[in-house]
Amino acid sequence: MATMNFPSDLKYTKDHEWIKLIDDKTALIGITEFAQRELGDIVFIDINTTGKMLNAEEVFGTVEAVKTVSDLFLPVEGKIVEVNNALSNNPELVNNDPYGEGWMAKIELSNTADINSLLTAEAYEQLVG
């Protein structure tokens, strides 16, 4: 099995989401390489929470794979300000590039410091390794 990639500039959750700060109040969210491998071929992403304020660990959408549907949990409190529209026609981007083109949502953070409570790449790798 190929080595999995856990970029060190991201923070991770025990639920297999990642978050990346874009600036001091905005971040991208997606699922990890481990999560997409576990799910298998992703066929549909459903995120209908745009414009909503959500708490950390609240469900912000679902990801549907051939065999299962999984909830997506928000890593930190914030407002969903954008959804990756490319995923509507190409949900497999999550399989092919989970940390790049396969990002799922952009959020406006309630408190940037919340990110510090999430897992580092090393801690996440130990969790799934």
pLDDT of 129 higher than 90? no
**Contact (CB, 8 A) for 8 and 119:** no
**Contact (CB, 8 A) for 126 and 19:** no
Domains of the chain: 11-110 (2.40.50.100)
The pLDDT value recorded for residue 3 is: 78
Region 87-103: mean pLDDT is 97
For 2-61, the pLDDT digits (tens) are 578 999 999 999 999 999 999 999 999 999 999 999 999 999 999 999 999 999 999 999
pLDDT of 76 higher than 90? yes
The pLDDT value recorded for residue 125 is: 95
- As a whole number of angstroms, the distance between CA 57 and CA 40 comes to 23
- pTM of the full structure: 0.95
- As a whole number of angstroms, the distance between CA 109 and CA 121 comes to 20
Rg of the chain on CA atoms, in Å: 13
The pLDDT value recorded for residue 1 is: 46
pLDDT of 74 higher than 80? yes
- The percent of residues in the chain predicted with pLDDT above 90, rounded, is 94
